[in-house]
Amino acid sequence: LRRKISLCSFSLFISVVTALEKMIISKLGDNTKLSCIYSQGGKLHLDNLRVYWQVDDPQEKCSVVYALISGQDNESEQCIHFKNRTQLLWDRLENGDFSLILLNVSQSDARRYKCIVLQNTEYTKRVHHEEVVLSLAASYSQPILSGPIRNTNSSEEEVTFRCRSSNGYPKPNVYWINKTDNRHLNSSELKITLQTDGTYSVFSTLKIKATSNMQIECSIKNEILQENLSAN
């Protein structure tokens, strides 16, 4: 209850800090660092501090990612989802570095987190607050372009190009480009499939009228990684 009260009285402080939230991009399966630094210049006394790493989502039933109470971790409050998956940098705690290492990240870890540092003196006071947004990403494989394949079935001289790529996250944007005039072309088919490892594979087909000189490019874009992979 005491914690709730201090949350309210510091709401002005929160709105200022929110603007400074950090974005972290991690690849699936990696260990990632959620940074939280309460810098006071000197060494901190951990015995009167409580540090909470929480999922920043009021809908979430279990929100405690990690709890450090008087310099010791309190596993009884930790949500099952994060059990055995968190580490602090123990040698840096006294310097106010409460960054959390989250092991083997998966899609379900892609959320907003907050780090709250509370000080118990006569009363409990929030002395630090930070937010971190974790995004998950994985690079797509170099796309493979095949074609042109003549469509014997069609009345017009139509050809098909196919493009595939896999093991990426999140879903990609797929572009077909006419390299002669650099215009985008519409695909006739786009299939994005979720694979068992949580990444996506993508398959796209382009059908166009056959011309003598066809220079076609397929481009797979991962918006989060700002990666654009092309094949032609």
Ligand X SMILES: *[C@@H]1O[C@H](CO)[C@@H](O)[C@H](O)[C@H]1NC(C)=O
152 binds ligand X (CB under 6 A): no
| Stretch of 13-21, 42-50, 79-87, 131-139 lying at the interface with ligand X (CB under 6 A) | 79-87
Count CA atoms within 13 Å of residue 49 on its CB side: 22
| Stretch of 2-10, 49-57, 68-76, 123-131 lying at the interface with ligand X (CB under 6 A) | 68-76
| Stretch of 19-27, 36-44, 69-77, 142-150 lying at the interface with ligand X (CB under 6 A) | 69-77
Q: 134 with 122: CB under 8 angstroms?
A: no
Residues whose CB falls within 8 Å of the CB of residue 84, separated by 6 or more in sequence, listed in order: 103
68 binds ligand X (CB under 6 A): no
| Stretch of 42-50, 58-66, 92-100, 181-189 lying at the interface with ligand X (CB under 6 A) | 181-189
Count CA atoms within 13 Å of residue 19 on its CB side: 4
31 binds ligand X (CB under 6 A): no
For ligand X, give the closer residue by CB, 18 or 160: 160
Question: Which of 39, 104, 142, 232: binder of ligand X (CB under 6 A)?
Answer: 104
Q: 34 with 99: CB under 8 angstroms?
A: yes
Distance CA 24, CA 120 (A): 31
190 binds ligand X (CB under 6 A): no
Name which of 128, 8, 22 is nearest 68 in CA terms. 128
**DSSP category for residue 91:** G
Could you tell me how many residues make up the chain? 232
Amino acid identity, residue 95?
Answer: N
35 binds ligand X (CB under 6 A): no
Binding site for ligand X (CB under 6 A): 69, 72, 74, 76-77, 80, 83-84, 104, 106, 153, 175, 177-178, 180-181, 185-186, 208, 211, 219, 221, 226, 228
